[in-house]
């Protein structure tokens, strides 16, 4: 998957500004794909040059004109082409997992502290996803089934990570207690 396809997915049903897209990355598609404002605007420029999106200027009082982007026929065709291809395996890049793997050389208290910080972030993300799922449920899950399914995956991922974190905590605390008793 590439950033271009994530943007095309977000534009499939409605036009949006770069700011709107960045907000969607933070709130929804960010469950599965992260991008900075700069990356989004850069990719929008490329998509525009390749005639996959077009934009219209919307005048704003006291601010520069806003650009609202929408899919072109070429963009929709690219999205459909990409959707037909099988997805490759997900790539995982998790620095904390690497730290746990190298934990024999690490300070257990430092690992536990970082685990606490990450667990707090995961609990906050879980709460956000659960609230989003509830809103999708209230507005009609069937009408938003694809968004709902994506959010459910996010919920399950967060819960699984938090369960794993408890196992890590238990193991590290047990290891720490054993080493102090020796």
- The whole-model pTM stands at 0.74
What pLDDT shows up at residue 100? 92
Q: Residues, the chain, total?
A: 182
Please list the residues that pair with 57 across neighbouring strands.
67
What pLDDT shows up at residue 175? 80
Which DSSP helix (H) or strand (E) runs through 35?
A: none
Kindly state the percentage of the chain with pLDDT values over 70.
Answer: 95
Is 48's pLDDT higher than 60? yes
What pLDDT shows up at residue 41? 93
Provide the greatest CA pair distance for the chain. Answer: 72
pLDDT band at 180 (very low <50, low <70, confident <90, very high): low
Q: Taking residues 42-71, report their average pLDDT.
A: 94
What pLDDT shows up at residue 132? 86
Within 28-143, where are the H helices? 37-49, 73-84, 95-101, 108-140
Which of these, 90, 86, 168, 154, lies nearest to 124 by C-alpha position?
A: 154
CB–CB of 14/3 below 8 Å? no
Query: pLDDT tens across 93-138, in order?
Result: 889 999 999 988 889 999 999 999 999 999 998 998 899 889 888 8
Is 182's pLDDT higher than 60? no
Is 160's pLDDT higher than 80? yes
71 CB-near residues (< 8 Å, 6+ apart): 8, 11, 12, 52, 53, 79
The separation between CA 178 and the C-alpha centre of its own chain, rounded to angstroms, equals: 39
């Amino acid at each position: 998957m590439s950033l271009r396809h994530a943007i095309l997915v977000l534009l499939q049903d409605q036009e949006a500004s770069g700011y709107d897209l960045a907000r969607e990355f933070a709130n929804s598609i960010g469950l599965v794909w992260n991008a900075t404002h700069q990356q989004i605007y850069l990719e929008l420029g490329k998509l525009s040059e390749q005639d996959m999106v077009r934009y219209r200027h919307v005048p704003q009082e006291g601010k520069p004109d806003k650009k609202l982007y929408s899919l072109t026929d070429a963009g929709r065709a690219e999205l459909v082409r990409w959707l037909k291809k099988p997805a490759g395996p997900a790539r995982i890049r998790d620095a904390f997992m690497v730290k746990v793997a190298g934990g024999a050389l690490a300070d257990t208290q430092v690992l536990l502290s970082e685990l606490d910080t990450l667990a707090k972030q995961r609990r906050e993300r879980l709460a956000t996803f659960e609230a989003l799922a509830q809103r999708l449920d209230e507005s009609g899950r069937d009408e938003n089934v694809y968004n709902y399914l994506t959010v459910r995956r996010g919920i399950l991922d967060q819960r699984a990570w938090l369960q794993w974190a408890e196992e890590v905590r238990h193991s590290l605390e047990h290891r720490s207690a054993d080493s102090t008793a020796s």
